Amino acid sequence: MKRWKIQLLVGFAIAFLMSVLYVFLPSQFQSIDNRLRDYMFLLRGPIPTSGDVVIVDIDEKSLKELGQWPWQRKKFAQVLQNLATAEAGVIGLDIVFAERDNSNPAKILGELGYPLEGVEDYDLILAQTIANTPTVPGYVFKMENDGIPSESTPMIPAIFIEKNKPENEYILEPYRAILNIPIIQENAYSSGFFNTIPDDDSGIIRSVPLVMKHDGVVYPSLSMEMIRILTEANKVYVNYAEDIGVENIQSGELTVPTDRYGRLLVNYRGPSFTFPYISALDVYSGTFDPAMIAGKFVLVGTSAAGLLDLRAMPFDNVYPGVEIHANVIDNILTGDFISKPSWIVAADIAMMFFVGITLAIILGYTSAFMSLLVAAVYVSALFAFNYYMLFYEGLTFNILFVIALLSTTVYMLSMVLSYFLETKQKNMIKGKFASKVSPAVMEDILKNPDSNVLSGTEREITISFSDVRNFTNISEAMGNPKSLIEFMNEYMDPMTEIIIQSGGTVDKFIGDAIMSYWNAPNDVEDHADKAVVATLKQLHALKALNAKLREDPRFINVVKMSDAANKPIIDIGIGLNTGVAIVGEMGSTGRSDYTCIGDPINLGSRLESLCKYYNSKCNISNFTKAQLKGTYIYRFLDLVTVKGKKEPIEIWQIHDFDEDMPPEETLYKVPRAKLDEELALYHHAIELYKGAKFEEALKIFKEMNESKDKTNNAIYDIYIERCEHYIEVPPKDFNGVFVHTTKG
């Protein structure tokens, strides 16, 4: 059999399998498909609303001023009256008044047997206000049998007609209605339920029922009823598509597509508070702009967490329920619906066969690399197609099964067709380089076999050298090599982890020193900052590490030695430099390693050595400082030429991160205000020194050296000695440069 025929059969078989799963096991996979669609909403982001829907919010401010919910019905009536006075088009209440107002004077006095003549009835006031304003009260359906018998049902001033109704029922059928108290319900022109039913798989609300059926009668949702009032339709048609279920709902000239259960798939405008909100308190007090209300659909609901009307939706896990109804009304007003017509199932299956067969044939004639490329193109194209159809055509095609089909085909065929070539190539690379490079570099080579990562190239890197202080004394106190190795491993492990997590590469361990660098072999954005952050994190980590070592009985001799010297068990100095170095595979024919060489590396090593001279824990060059974007606490140390270099460089000490931290967590031992004061005065003295004003500088250095709060015990002695020398032997053409003739 010819190869293309085999490929065709494989593609057909996989497409057939996916189609069977799609038709007969849809619920098991619907959750994943829904989440993929949620991601598309996040990718699309917020979109503008029609501007015709406004939310009056019973928010925290309103609850604070008007009291806890429920308010006196008289207060709420004032809110509705003010909305009507502002000429609101239709007012919908995402609220149900299922019980009488407990603060109602008529209720209280009536229960006590007092005469009610002339007594205010708050429930009656609200009912009359609803009757005299364009208000549509809400109610809620109880979906499950809760043991309470069903009583009255709401009256609706319209006829709902089911056209082409099949034998099977698809519209949701609740158990009973929880209505407003009779005096309110009977005075209302109309009403609608405001149930929002989350998906079973995730609790996310992606669709909202526009109609439900109770005792054989179809009832509209609050949103649908507000739209019906707009259209002034006396008849609403629920149109079925043969035996598939509801296809759409027609109110006047408006046709709203739904799923088979009469639910609208909500095209959410964005996260919480995408719609305009007005505080109920502002409406009550009349301090709102009537122009925001005039002629608009006004929904009254709550965003207050304590009132428990918060839901989950694709954009947000904490979303006011009232805003869901706002989205439904806005969808209907603008007509940008999302729907799943009955023919979508057939289209999904056709797409599976098309993708499966064409992809199988193409992959049968491509290399492993091209297979991945083709797969990426297919995935991108299918994702783009689904995105376009969802948001521009309002159609929900299945995402999961087509991509699952694609993935299955890619992996089946690409593994079969490219197994021998790729396996052979990887084995060849491993055999050639296994003895030469680190695992990290090996992994990079395997991912990019055609790259020249091993060849020597010039790269800008930030190099770091760290060194343990008093290591000779530690070695002597340890007593035996095994304990010393265990001790160093306790130190090296956390330090190495910090370097690696920051994107650095550990080049080598040189006794007690660690050489590492950033921006090789792979690019590391802001590598200078990454190196400084890793350095400061290492210095901060020493506190916990020393505490851990102090409790370890293996290292008791080192603990005693450090206590006797009044020093931490482990203290380190780190030098950082940034520059262009040669990076690549270096060594002999039989043994080599991926490393770096060049002047920047030598200077980094010198900077680490000079930590002892300047009594600093972190020295950086001006080359590194020039590239830093983060905020740190700097101290200028010196302008020097180091051994082996002619050009002067600036050496800077970094004390710590420039951020608020508890005093006990900082690397410096004084309050931050004192450190800032010290550094300001110190840098002033440095400027005097650079300007050859040695006597003035000397005076400041001596005063600072006598301070018990100074944060560098050596730097003042250094500059005092230099100033005294230059006062005694005035230099000619002083440029502030000091020459280091030794490494440290």
User: Which residues are CB-neighbours of 374 under 8 A, at least 6 positions away?
Assistant: 359, 362, 363, 366
Least confident of 263-267, 358-362, 548-552, 628-632: 358-362
Flag whether pLDDT at 476 surpasses 80: yes
- 128-to-123, 155, 180, 186, 505 alpha-carbon distances in Å: 9, 17, 14, 10, 76
Residue 421 pLDDT exceeds 80: no
CATH number of 440-630: 3.30.70.1230
Mean pLDDT value across residues 616-636: 97
The pair of structure tokens assigned to 150 is 């069903």
Average confidence (pLDDT) over 45-73: 94
**Do residues 614 and 637 touch, judged by C-beta distance below 8 A?**
yes
| pLDDT value of residue 242 | 77
What pLDDT was estimated at residue 375? 80
Q: Looking at residue 589, what is its pLDDT?
A: 61
pLDDT band at 361 (very low <50, low <70, confident <90, very high): confident
Worst-scoring range by mean pLDDT, 33-37, 225-229, 617-621? Answer: 33-37
- Name the band, by pLDDT with cuts 50, 70 and 90, for residue 413: low
**pLDDT class of 9 with cuts at 50, 70, 90:** confident
Average per-residue pLDDT in the chain?
A: 88
Residue 702: pLDDT band by 50, 70, 90 thresholds? very high
Stretch among 21-30, 254-263, 352-361, 559-568 having the lowest mean pLDDT: 21-30
Return the minimum-mean-pLDDT range out of 69-78, 139-148, 361-370: 361-370
In one-letter notation, the amino acid at residue 637 is L
Evaluate the omega torsion of the peptide bond into residue 105 and state whether it is cis, within 30 degrees of 0: no
Q: In the chain, which residues fall in CATH 3.30.70.1230?
A: 440-630
CA–CA distances in Å: residue 487 to residues 76, 274, 385, 557, 562: 73, 58, 59, 12, 14
How much is the average pLDDT of 159-174?
90
**Residue 65, H or E segment:** helix 60-66
Which residue would you say has higher pLDDT here, 553 or 456? 553
H or E segment to which residue 7 belongs: helix 3-24
Contacts of 153 (CB under 8 A, 6+ apart): 177, 179, 214, 215, 217, 219
Confidence class for position 548, pLDDT limits 50, 70, 90:
very high
- The residue-averaged pLDDT of 682-707 equals 95
Specify whether the CB–CB gap between 60 and 285 falls below 8 A: no
Q: What is the arithmetic mean of pLDDT over 246-252?
A: 93
Backbone angles phi, psi at 186, to 5 degrees: -75, -25
Give residue 169's region: left, alpha or beta (phi > 0; psi -120 to 50). Answer: beta
User: Which pLDDT band, with edges at 50, 70 and 90, does 436 fall under?
Assistant: very low
Whether the predicted pLDDT of 407 surpasses 70 = no
pLDDT confidence of 438, banded at 50, 70, 90? very low
Percent of the chain with pLDDT over 70: 89
- The better pLDDT of the pair 49, 507 is held by 49
H helices of 502-621, where?
A: 527-550, 556-565, 599-614
- Of the candidate ranges 275-284, 361-370, 487-496, the one whose mean pLDDT is the lowest: 361-370
Give, for 356, the enclosing helix (H) or strand (E): helix 344-363
The predicted structure's pLDDT at residue 406: 66
